[in-house]
Structure 1
Amino acid sequence: MSNVILIVEDEKKLASIMADYLTLAQYESHILYDGADVIDWVKDNKPSAILLDLMLPVKDGMQLCKEIRAFSDVPILMTTAKVEEIDRLLGLEVGADDYICKPYSPREVVARVKAVLRRVQSTQQNTGFRLDVDKYQAHFDGKCLDLTAVEFQLLKPLAGEPGRIFTREQLMRNMYDDNRIVSDRTIDSHIKKLRKKLLALSDELEFIQSVYGVGYRFSLTHPTQNSVYT
């Protein structure tokens, strides 16, 4: 991963100030002033994090966040000038890692960027489990597993937040972006197939564990260590 923070902000003065503060914090930065070229730039450059304004020319931050999440887990910190939009964004769960309301302190934004990057690094180091978003592969303990697009989209949110319980509805929204109707049985069927494939990485760990009556969570502990798992 690079040390570049992508700033997507149409207020040029604010973007410049933010870039200066990131430079002082030992980060490189790149600025885009509208949403037109963001997706291609992210795919080509793989930044460490993205500071993404909600209201942008050409394509807004909400749509960009959804499109980025279709191929990348890069940390996204979304900014907005309206407090009420924060609640709306949280409700929609568009995939941002943090939400910052304008006007903001550049020092606070830098602190939040550092916090998000530390959390991502800690998760990667502690789990030893890694997903390759370009090749649709899962890596663990020196082993590699090829996944289908649907399997990868199902596993990505789970592995991205170990320990968090995801409902079937939340997993469905991550798997499909066309608002199709999928039954709980369909999700359970995909989980069952994915679990079988994950045995190739470890036959001792059940990476995806069921939480009775709620949904699923990702864990590297043995399921018998906690009675809520089935």
Structure 2
Amino acid sequence: MAVLKNGRLVGRVGNLVYRDVKGRTIVQSRPRRSKRGFQLTSRNSNFSVASMAASALYRELKDFALNLSTRELYNSIVSLLMGNPEVLQPEGLDNDWSLVPDSHLLPVEKRRSLPGLQNGAVGLDFAEGTYRVQIPPLKTSQIADSIHHVWKNVQEYERTFVLLYYDFETTSASVVGRWTSRRTKKGAKSKSVLIERDLIDLDGFPISKGLLVLAVGVRLYAAPSSSSYLNRPDYNPFVVTGIWKKH
């Protein structure tokens, strides 16, 4: 409420505040308290954690994808983690590794092409300190028209995967599993592959919490003697097949 003081109006009238400053009347808008203060602080904290995880994973995934990935992958991981804030919490009730929602077939770059080659989905499951990766065969006899312009130049290919581990405590990402097939001629029949290994970190200790990221890809070659890949920015058959969490 405003009052007259020495002939001047001092105090609040509605959303306006009258102040007497060195003999002059100053009128200001009434300050308002932000109701989103806690939410903003929490969101900023989550973004910081998500950004550190995305940066560490992006570096490893970019190397795996032959350096053809774009910042779109980093942005996708940040958005995914921000959309699932329970993943970023230091404690949780996960009894086993669980797939982060919407992390299936996370694009390494916008024009992902691997689903057009695979005859089925890649599987990952865990049992008694081990992990198993099931890689389906390639449907090399039924190539989609959208990728035929590259496939017609392929003579041989390799299938490959990488399993990454992100530790929230050290904010670091490392490769804990890697596999690459022998070169296969394009006309040969493709087969499914099952790889089972111990789930351990670089020091040989069991991995019991954090994030696990599985990415798969195909390396294409124009000639048997060639060491150069046909993979290129408009056709980059690498994809993140899922992110798993455990607290």
TM-score by length of 2: 0.25
TM-score by length of 1: 0.26
> Higher relative CO (CA 8 A, sep ≥ 6), structure 1 or 2?
2
Q: Which has the larger radius of gyration?
A: 2
Greater strand proportion: 2
Greater helix proportion: 1
